Structure 1
Amino acid sequence: MRLRLLALVLPVGLLAALGGSAANARTNADTLLSQGKPVIASSIEDDTLTAGKAVDGSTSTRWASSEGVDPQWIRVDLGQAATVGRVKLNWEAAYAKGYRIEVSDDGTTFSTIKTVADGNGATDDLTGLQGHGRYVRVVGTQRGTSYGYSLWELEVYGTTDSSGDTQAPTVPAGLKSTGATATSVTLSWTASTDNIGVSGYDVLRDGNAVATTASTQYNDTGLTANTTYKYSVRARDLAGNVSAASEPITVTTATGGTGGFVLAAAGDIADRCTASDSDCIHPKTAKLVEAMNPAAVITMGDNQYDDAHLSDFQNYYAKTWGKFKSITHPIPGNHETYDDTPFKGYRDYFGSIATPQGKNYYSWNQGNWHFIALDSNDFVKEEGLREPAQLTWLKQDLASNTKGCIAAYYHHPRFSSGDHGDNPDADALWQTLVSARTDLVLNGHDHHYERFLPQNADGDKDASGPVQIIGGMGGAPLYPVHAAHPATAKIISDFGVLKLSMTDSTFATQLIGLDGKVLDSSPMYSCH
C-alpha cells in the first residue's frame, strides 16, 4: 500500500489564532453528512478499493480510481438536499494536483463550488464553501502522480434542509384506481407539498401500511380475486413528519382466471464480492428477489463480473442469485464474452438453462405471455460477433407465436440516457420487435434504472409501441446518467430489482430499492 506522510509544526499562539478563525468559519457547517451514504465513482483500481471505502469512517481503507487516466470522479449521495459549507479530503499517495468540488440537486446536472489547481496531497480541508444540493462530487482533473486518484476519506459537512423541521406535508389528494385485475390494483394520486420536501408516501390497504413509495403511483399485487379493498395514502417528508391519511377509496378486484404471476428481473449483477463486504450489492438484491417469491427470474446480461469465468460464477453469483437458478431465464451480456473462450463460464454454470434451444437465444411461455431471450452481442459491431441467423430466428419465432402478450429482453438497449448511451447496433432487434407489436422490452448494460413511455421505431412517444426499461442496477457499480430522452418516464441512479406483475392481458412494473421501498411504479398497461 502506498502511503503519504506530512508533518506540520506551527507555534502554539498561531495555532490558537487559526483555530479560532476556523471555528468561526465553520459555524453551521460541521455536521458530517457523508459517512456511510451511497457513493459511486467513475472507476476503481480493483475490487478491494471500492468507492464505499471513502465514506466508511476508516482511515485504513480507501477508494482508488484506475491508474493513469484523467479525469476521474467520486460522488456521494447525501440522501437529501443540504447546504454544504465544508469538504475534507484525506488523500493517499495518489493525490489530485487539480480538482473541483461540485454539487447537484438531481445527480445529473452539477455546479462547481470550489476549484483547486495546486493541490499537494495529504489532507485538504476546504472551508467557507457555499453550495446546496443532494449530491457532492469530487472531480480529479490533473493527477499529482503517475497513479490514479485515491482517497482514504471524503467528508462532506453542512446542514440538511430538514434540520429543525416539524411541519408535515399536505394530505395527498385525488387518490384513484387506474386499473384492477384479479390479483392487483394500480393506484395514483396527486403529489403532496411540503415546506422542505416530500420524501415518499405510505400506501395503506384496509388501514395497514403495505408499502412506501417515492412516486405518486403504486401497484398493489398478490391480492385475492373478487374482493373489495379500502385504500388511502399519507405523505412523509425528509424530517420524518407524516401527513394525515387521504380520503379512502374502495376497489374490487376482478373475478379469477386472469393468469396473474410475478417476475423478478435485473441485469449487471454479481461483482466479485461477497456478503462479508458491506459494499457488496448483489447479496442485497438477491434478498429482494427472495421477498418477491417470483414465478420466474429474468437476467438481462452481465450476470457475473469481470470476465465471467466458471470459478467466478461459482464463487459469487451462485451464492446469491444462484438460489433462483432453477427458475432463471438468463441471457448473456458483453462480460460473458470476456472468458478465455467466450460464453464458456456462462454456459458451464447455467447449463441447458442458458441454451434450451441450442443457442444463446431462445423463447419461453408463461400464462398468456411469450418471452423472447436474445443475445445482443450478435448485433454489436465492435464485438465482431454479428450473426444474422438470430434475426431470422426472431422473425420466425414472432410469426409462430400464439400468445396474446409479448416481452423481449437483451443486454444492449436501443435507447439509453446512461453512460453507454444509445446503441444503434441494436436497431435491427428494436425495429423487429416494434413491428411485431411487442409490449415490453428489458435491457441492461448501462448501470442505472430508466423506464420509458411506449415508443415507436424511432424512439418517439407512441402508445402502440413497447415499454422499454433499463434495469442494469442488479449489483455492479452504478454508472452516471445524462440528460433524459424525451420519452423517458423515470430515471434513477440506484440499486434494486424490477418487479413485474403480469396477467393474461396486462402488465405493471415496479422498481424495488435495497430497503424494500418502491422507487418507481409504472401505470398498468394493456397488451397490444
Structure 2
Amino acid sequence: MRSRTRTFTVVAAGVVAVSLFGTAAAVAAPAIDNGWPYGHAVKAHDDKTYTLAAVGDIACEPNDSDNAANPAALKCGSPSLGGFDAEFATAKQADAMKPDAVALLGDEQYQVGKLSDFEGSFEQAWGGLKFLEKPAPGNHEFYSYTKKGDNEAGQNGNGYFAYFNGHDQSGTPNASGQAGDDTPANQGWYSYDLGNWHIVSLNVECNSAAFGNDCSTTDGGLLAQETQWLAADLKNNQQQCTIAYWHQPTFSATTASTSTVAASAPGAGGQEGQVADAWWKLLYDNHATLVLNGHEHAYAHLKPMNPAGQYDPKRGIPEFIVGTGGEALDTLAKNADGSFANSNVITGYDQGYGTMKLTLGEHSYAYSYTPALAGAGQPASALNYSDTGSGKCRG
C-alpha cells in the first residue's frame, strides 16, 4: 500500500498552510468553530471533483498479551470474523480510489478500541491512509463489551482519541486533533469541506460516561449541546451539498420488522437511533444531500426519506449503511417472500466486505459499491455484486 503523508504548519491565527501530496495552499478557518483543527484542505465553491471513501466496522481485536484473557472467537484469527484478510482488503480498495478524504463510520477498532488494539490491528491495515481519515466513533470505541464470554471495560473514546489525535508519553490523548476535540465540552464532533461539499462527522455514543449516560437532545446535557452545535453548523453552512455521518443508523436494514418497531421506523436502532432521528430532522430542514452510517455489518442503500421514514423523492435524504469494513457480517432483514423488511431498502449486500466510493462534483454526486472480499463460506459469485448510481444536491 502506498504511503501518504500530510503536514500542517500554522502560519497565522485562523490561517493554516496545508501540504497534501506536495501541493501547498493557504486557507482561512471557517466562520463557525467546526471542531476540525487543520482548516480546510481545499477551496470552497470550486468546480473540481473529489473522491470520498466511506466505511465503518473495520478492525478485529488483535490476539496479543493485552487481550490474552478474552475469548479467541472475538479476536483476529477467528474463522467467524473477517480478520486481517478483510481489513487489509478494504484498505487496499480504499487506497486504490486515491481518495481526497476517508469517512470512517465508527467501530474502527473492536472490541473496546484500546490504544494497543488500534496499534495492533487497525494501524496495520489502514495506517497508510491515516492522515486522510476523518473518523466518527462507534459504540465499540465508547461502551463496554460484555457479550460472548468477554468482559472489557468501556474506553469512553480514550483509545480512539489517543490513536487519531496523538497522545503524551503516558498515553493520555491530546485535547484536539484529527478526530476533533476530546474535551468535557466536545467529544469529537466536527465538520469540514471538500470543494462544494460540507461534511459533518457526529458522535452518537451518548450512553457513556463521557456523555453522562444522557441521550436527551434537549435537556442541556452534552448530547443536547452537540445537537445545538449541529443546528448552528448547518445554519452557517454556505455550501450547496451536505453529507452527515455517524455510527448507529436512524433507519435499519438488519433489524427485522416487529409489531411495535418496524425497521423503517425512526430510531429503530435503539436509543442512539432516537438521537439520530432528531439529527435527521435538522438535516432534512437544511436540505442535506446524504446520510452515511455503519453499525449494521452489511451494505444497504435506502430511498430518500423524510424524518418519519417515508419515501420522499423531492426533499428526502438517502441513507447508505456501509458497515462492511472487515470485522464481521450481519444478515439483512427480509420478509418471508424475500423482500426487504424495511421497504425503503433499494438494494443491500451481506455476503462480503467492501468500501463505498463517493465522487463529489460541483452540484451532484456518484456512488459506487463493490465488494473487496467475500465472506467466509460464500461462493465466488458473492463478488459479483455492485451498486452504482448518481444524484443531485438538494441545497
Give the structure-1-normalised TM-score: 0.49
Alignment match, 2:213: 384
User: 1:508 touches 1:521 (CA, 8 Å); kept in 2?
Assistant: no
Q: Distance in 2 between matches of 1:487 and 1:442?
A: 15
Question: Cα–Cα, structure 1 residues 383 and 292, in superposed 2: closer, same or farther, change >3 Å?
Answer: farther
Partner residue, 2:59: 270
The residue aligned with 1:495 is: 353
1:63-94 deviation digits (Å, cap 9, x = unpaired):
xxxxxxxxxxxxxxxxxxxxxxxxxxxxxxxx
AA of the residue aligned to 2:126: W
**2:170 — aligned with what?**
none
Matched, 1:365 2:216: no
Q: What does residue range 328-367 of structure 1 map to in structure 2 within 5 Å?
A: 328-338=133-143, 340-351=154-165, 352-355=177-180, 359=186, 360-367=188-195
CA distance in 1, matches of 2:77, 2:246: 31
Superposed CA deviations along residues 142-167 of structure 1, whole A, max 9, x for unmatched, are xxxxxxxxxxxxxxxxxxxxxxxxxx
Distance between the aligned counterparts of 2:158 and 2:195, measured in 1?
32
Contact 1:510/1:518 (<8 A) preserved: no
One-letter code aligned to 1:488: V
* CA radius of gyration, larger in: 1
**Among 258, 283, 287, the residue aligned to 1:433:** 283
2:247 match = 411
4+ residue segments displaced more than 6 Å: 274-278, 379-383
Q: Does 1:402 align with 2:238?
A: yes
Query: SS at the partner of 1:376?
Result: coil
Mapped to 2, the partners of 1:432 and 1:380 lie a distance apart of 24
Q: Deviations over 1:34-60 (max 9, x none)?
A: xxxxxxxxxxxxxxxxxxxxxxxxxxx
What is the aligned partner in structure 2 of residue 527 from structure 1? 393
Q: How many residues end up aligned between the 2 structures? A: 272
Aligned with 1:467 (options 293, 306, 318): 318
- Measure the CA separation in 1 of the matches of 2:102 and 2:50: 12
Paired letter, 1:475 = G
Q: Provide the alpha-carbon RMSD of the alignment.
A: 2.5
Q: Provide the residue aligned with 1:303 in structure 2.
A: 108
Letter in 1 for 2:286: A
Which residue is 1:251 aligned to?
none
TM-score under structure 2 length normalisation? 0.64
1:513 corresponding residue in structure 2:
371
Describe the SS at the equivalent of 2:321. Answer: strand
What secondary structure does 1:523 align onto?
strand
Instruction: Classify 1:277/1:380 alpha carbon distance in 2 versus 1 (closer, same or farther; 3 Å).
Output: closer
Higher-helix-fraction structure: 2
Name whichever structure is richer in strand by fraction: 1
Deviations 1:120-155 (A, max 9, x none): xxxxxxxxxxxxxxxxxxxxxxxxxxxxxxxxxxxx
Q: Give aligned-pair identity as a percent.
A: 31
Maintained 8 Å contact 1:471/1:498? yes
Q: How does 1:67-466 map to 2 (within 5 A)?
A: 258-273=47-62, 279-280=82-83, 281-338=86-143, 340-351=154-165, 352-355=177-180, 359=186, 360-378=188-206, 384-386=213-215, 387-419=223-255, 422-423=268-269, 424-425=273-274, 426-463=276-313, 464-466=315-317
Contact 2:368 2:389 in 1 (8 A): no
SS at structure 1 position matched to 2:307: coil
| Rounded Cα–Cα distance in structure 2 between residues aligned with 1:380 and 1:437 | 31
Given residue 238 of structure 2, which amino acid in structure 1 is its aligned partner? T
| AA at the equivalent of 2:357 | K
2:355 aligned counterpart, secondary structure = strand
CA distance in 2, matches of 1:306, 1:504: 39
Unaligned runs of 5+ in 2: 1-45, 64-75, 144-152, 166-176, 216-222, 257-262, 335-339, 375-382
Q: Which residue of 1 aligns with 2:10?
A: none
In structure 2, relative to structure 1, the CA distance for the partners of 1:392 and 1:498 (3 Å cut) is: same
Structure with more relative contact order (C-alpha pairs < 8 Å, separation 6 or more): 2
In 2, Cα distance between the equivalents of 1:335 and 1:515? 23
Do the aligned partners of 2:137 and 2:160 also contact (CA within 8 Å) in 1? yes
Per the TM alignment, residue 379 of structure 1 is displaced from its structure 2 partner at its CA by 7.5
Cα distance, 1:393–1:376 mapped onto 2, change above 3 Å:
same
